[in-house]
Amino acid sequence: MAVMKFGTYQAPNSEPITTDLDWWEPVEGTPSMKTWIENQTDDGKFLTGYWEATPGSYRVVYGVDEYIHMFEGKVTLTQDGEEPKTFQAGDTFYIEAGFNGIWKTEETVRKLFAIRAK
């Protein structure tokens, strides 16, 4: 069993990816994102790291499961056909693969993530 330490959300150990994720399509405003992948399994199916996004909205279709802890900001998620759910700094939540809807960053978000690919 390996135990690893990676950076902090204020000082990640990796260089950021500054392009939008492939499955995120901007739909409102001019949002931008940065993704720091701090750890990835050899098969690429489990990732952990940090993510930052500026205000605006994306249409997203999740093909992965994601566990999130938000350090800063506020976001509203609206699954197609359902009521919006708002999360803010200090919240921890889970998005199941199959989520299809809008991710709206209300205030700049900084989060820790753990993603499991299907």
The full set of domains in the chain, from first to last, is 47-117 (2.60.120.10)
- What is the torsional sign of CA 11, 87, 48, 102? negative
pLDDT of residue 21: 86
Distances (CA, A) of 27 to 50, 78, 87, 102: 23, 13, 20, 9
Task: Determine the pLDDT at residue 45.
Answer: 95
- Asked whether 12 and 38 are in contact (CB, 8 A), the reply is yes
pLDDT for residue 14: 85
Residue stretches of the chain with pLDDT short of 70: 1
- Within 8 A by CB and 6+ apart from 56, the residues are 26, 28, 29, 30, 31, 32, 104, 105
Among 63, 57, 53, 68, smallest CA distance to 18 is for 53
What number of other Cβ atoms are within 10 A of residue 36's Cβ?
21
Q: What is the pLDDT of residue 22?
A: 86
Residue 78: strand pairing partners = 102
